């Protein structure tokens, strides 16, 4: 019976090949989303193992962030870049969950998350969320949550929509200026908490800075940050 099943499985994969979302090679039967080679080859930044790291340094003198880290880093045509592209633009949200789960276990092992209370994904603009159907940072957060057993809060921090000041700005300004575009809707449940803010990619850090500034307005709040990748500009 299992032989027949395997045969059927092979037949199906001939018609609908399952490919690795990082390198495009065929996946083996026991592989899912990412092939074994890519798991090994994708560079781990290991920033969570040292307080002084490139992502943490990005926020020095800008906003008070307790700890900051990224799972990997972007290089040209890197496999992690392909994964994040497939997650964001091809709607493969399972990639976010899977990478989040893997990173979450490392974060737990190192003690990085030992005093974290809850996880908040960087909110996506509602219009973008409608088009994409999901928020990729939320998928990553769910994976991390699965590994570290802490709740994900997707309601307390929101992205404001079409405020007067936003629409008056030039298109370029709207892309580059993220200051004041986030809003905290719930302060009671967050007061005194250490929040783990989760993003897909950190480039200039301005989105994280803007979220953090809003969150730090709540009494006693502390913020730490993780992302799947750090894009070196
Ligand atoms: Zn691969």
Residues 49-65 have pLDDT tens digits of: 999 999 999 999 999 99
Domains of the chain: 1-41 (no CATH), 43-231 (3.40.50.2020)
Helix (H/G/I), strand (E/B), else coil: 82: helix
pLDDT tens track for 161-202: 754 444 455 555 555 566 789 999 989 999 999 999 999 999
- pLDDT band for 12, please (50, 70, 90 cuts): confident
Sorting pLDDT into bands at 50, 70 and 90, what band is 232?
Answer: confident
Query: Which residue in the block uniquely carries the two structure tokens 């750090």?
Result: 230
Poorest-pLDDT segment among 97-101, 164-168, 204-208: 164-168
pLDDT of amino acid 171: 54
Residue 188: CB atoms within 10 Å: 7
Rounded to whole angstroms, the Cα distance separating 218 from 163 reads 22
Q: How far away, in angstroms, is 42 Cα from ligand 1 center? A: 9
Residue 42 CA to residue 81 CA, distance in Å, equals: 10
CA of residue 30 to ligand 1 center, whole Å: 13
Cα 74 to averaged position of ligand 1 atoms, centre (Å): 16
Scanning the chain, the segments in alpha helix (DSSP H) are 2-15, 36-41, 54-58, 79-89, 93-110, 126-132, 136-148, 164-168, 171-176, 206-215
Share of the chain above pLDDT 70, in %: 92
Query: Which one has a higher pLDDT value, 78 or 200?
Result: 200
| 61 alpha carbon – ligand 1 mean position (Å) | 39
99 alpha carbon – ligand 1 mean position (Å): 14
- pTM listed for this prediction: 0.88
Look up tokens 């719930």; give the residue.
186
Q: Do residues 189 and 215 touch, judged by C-beta distance below 8 A?
A: no
Question: Mean of the per-residue pLDDT values for the chain?
Answer: 90
- The rounded Å distance from CA 85 to ligand 1 centre is 14
Distance CA 34, CA 79 (A): 10
Q: Which of 103, 212, 193, 65 is nearest to 55 (CA)?
A: 65
Position 201 scores a pLDDT of 95
Report the percent of the chain where pLDDT is more than 90: 75
> What's the rounded Cα separation, in Å, for the pair 199 and 208?
8
The pLDDT, as a whole number, for residue 165 is: 47
CA of 21 to the centre of ligand 1 (A): 7
What is the distance in A from the centroid of ligand 1 to the CA of 22?
5
CA dihedral 230, 25, 29, 12 (to 10 degrees): 130
């Amino acid at each position: 019976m299992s032989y027949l099943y395997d045969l059927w499985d092979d037949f199906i994969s001939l018609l609908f090949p399952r490919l690795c979302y990082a390198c495009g090679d065929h996946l083996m039967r026991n592989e899912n989303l990412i092939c074994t080679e890519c798991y090994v080859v994708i560079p781990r930044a290991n920033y969570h193992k040292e307080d002084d790291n490139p992502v943490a340094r990005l926020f020095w003198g800008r906003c008070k962030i307790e700890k900051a880290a990224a799972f990997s880093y972007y290089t040209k045509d890197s496999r992690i870049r392909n994964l994040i592209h497939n997650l964001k633009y091809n709607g493969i949200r399972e990639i976010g969950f899977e990478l989040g789960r893997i990173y979450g276990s490392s974060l737990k092992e190192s003690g990085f998350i030992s005093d974290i209370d809850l996880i908040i994904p960087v909110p996506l603009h509602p219009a973008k969320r409608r088009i994409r159907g999901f928020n990729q940072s939320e998928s990553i957060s769910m994976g991390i949550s699965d590994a570290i057993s802490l709740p994900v809060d997707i309601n307390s921090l929101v992205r404001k929509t079409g405020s007067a000041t936003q629409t008056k700005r030039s298109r370029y300004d709207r892309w580059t200026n993220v200051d004041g575009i986030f809003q905290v809707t719930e302060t009671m449940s967050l007061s005194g908490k250490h929040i783990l803010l989760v993003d897909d990619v950190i480039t200039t850090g301005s989105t994280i800075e803007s979220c953090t500034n809003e969150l730090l307005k709540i009494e006693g709040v502390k913020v730490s940050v993780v992302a799947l990748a750090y894009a070196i500009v």
